[in-house]
Amino acid sequence: MSSHSGENETVDLADGVNHQVAMVMDLNKCIGCQTCTIACKTNWTDSGGREYMYWNNVETKPGAGYPRDWEEKGGGWDEDGEERQPGELPSEEDYGQPWDFNHEEIMYEGSDEPLRPMDDAADWGPNWDEDEGAGEYPNSYYFYLPRICNHCTHPSCVEACPRSALYKREEDGIVLVDQDRCRGYRYCVEGCPYKKVYYNAMKKKSEKCIFCYPRIEGEGPEGEVRGPACAEDCPPQLRMVGYLDDADGPIHKLVNEYEVAVRLHPEYRTEPNVYYIPPFAPPKHTQAGETAEEERIPREYLEELFGPNVHDALDTIERERERVRRGGDSELMELLNSDRSEKYRLEVFNDA
């Protein structure tokens, strides 16, 4: 691992990687509209054996997610981050299969039945448990969790491949599957604890999020440098895109200086480069509708998802919020509320 010194922080990059792309997603802004999901799908996964894939998905937490129960399927590294932990391959049903509908009866057999899935066809699918969440009325809670490949610094998918078909790009640390080397063994699919590598059964190769690298290289619309489609198309603009080692960028500040952007399941030890501003929710209500002191989303649950650093992150944000409420200035709050033009810093290293 090499170190790049920022102003007062040191950023660890993977060996052989010059810079590391990163994304910060502010979960407080996600409205679960799935525009990112569709932006990704129309760009990359609308056909050719990729129909079932969502390189970008948005799931409701608490919830089983996509693929179903991915957090229980293993993968990643052991506690020391040294030995790879094999996982299991999700089933087709875990990803969600297309449902069969009664088109035949209605279109050709004159049935008066409403159009609906056949028999028990509709018993699971991506987003099946959307908005269910957890907790009891009036203190139920949920939030949306958008997920892409984390382009990890210590990727277990790369380690899992016996053919070294997966690699981190030297220039920006994007994790890619070399389609010429891949022979469809699927060790990367089970090896990724986030289940963000997918098997294309038509091509007999594994495929995954490419961080829209043609767009960040300026090969996208109008030949301009653009952020990944999931970020650019997001209506509430909840994603920041840049380089973790860009000491003047907002990502470096949020991750390394204020430490308010945290990793999803850091215990998997893959060192993700997608970070999350953890969600706040209104406090709990009493049965009488009074505001109670207790937090609505249990801290233990957030710690389960984002590790112990989530406490400091939430406390820091709360403190800075309070400062602004009292009329003070807060660079952190400005960063979190910055406009679109500051969210994408992708050309800072172009001269290097």
Partner 1 sequence: MTRNQLSLVITLAVVVAGAAVLLPAVTDAQTQSGVPVEYVEDSSGFETPTGSGWTAAQTATFPLSGTGADVPMANDVSIEEVQVEAVRTNERIYLRTSWADPTRDASDGSVRSFADQVAVQLPAAGENQPPIAMGSNETPVNIWSWSSSDGTEEIMAAGPGSSTPFAEQTLRTKHTYADGRWHVVFIRPLDPSGSIASSLNTETPPRTTIPTDTANLDVAFGVWNGSNMEVSGRKSASQWHRLAVGSGPPGYERFLWVIAGVAIVLTTLVTIEGIRRKGGE
Give contact residues for partner 1 (rule: CB under 8 A).
Answer: 86, 89-92, 95, 162-164, 183-187, 189-190, 198-199, 201-202, 204
Residue 291 pairs with which residues in a beta bridge? 285
Query: Residue 87 Cβ, how far from partner 1 at the closest point, in Å?
Result: 9
Query: Residue 146 Cβ, how far from partner 1 at the closest point, in Å?
Result: 23
Instruction: Give the nearer residue to partner 1 in terms of CB position, either 63 or 90.
Output: 90
- State which H helix or E strand residue 213 sits in: helix 213-216
Query: Residue 231 Cβ, how far from partner 1 at the closest point, in Å?
Result: 28
Query: Residue 205 Cβ, how far from partner 1 at the closest point, in Å?
Result: 12
Instruction: Classify each residue of 191-207 as buried b or exposed e, where b means 16 or more C-beta atoms within 10 Å of its C-beta.
Output: bbbbbbbbbbeeeebbb
Query: Residue 336 Cβ, how far from partner 1 at the closest point, in Å?
Result: 38
Instruction: Give the nearer residue to partner 1 in terms of CB position, either 164 or 337.
Output: 164
Alpha carbon distance 211, 56 (integer Å): 10
120 C-beta neighbours (distance < 10 Å), count: 7
Instruction: Give the nearer residue to partner 1 in terms of CB position, either 148 or 165.
Output: 165
Query: Residue 53 Cβ, how far from partner 1 at the closest point, in Å?
Result: 10
CA 14 to each of CA 20, 141, 244, 271, 303: distance values in angstroms, whole numbers, following the listed order: 8, 37, 12, 10, 26
Token code pair at residue 192: 């990724």
Instruction: Give the nearer residue to partner 1 in terms of CB position, either 21 or 158.
Output: 158
Alpha carbon distance 338, 352 (integer Å): 27
What pairing do the DSSP bridges indicate for beta strands 274-277 and 21-26? parallel
Alpha carbon distance 79, 73 (integer Å): 16
Instruction: Give the nearer residue to partner 1 in terms of CB position, either 73 or 252.
Output: 73
- 322 CB-near residues (< 8 Å, 6+ apart): none
Instruction: Give the nearer residue to partner 1 in terms of CB position, either 46 or 322.
Output: 46
Instruction: Give the nearer residue to partner 1 in terms of CB position, either 209 or 260.
Output: 209
Alpha carbon distance 182, 184 (integer Å): 6
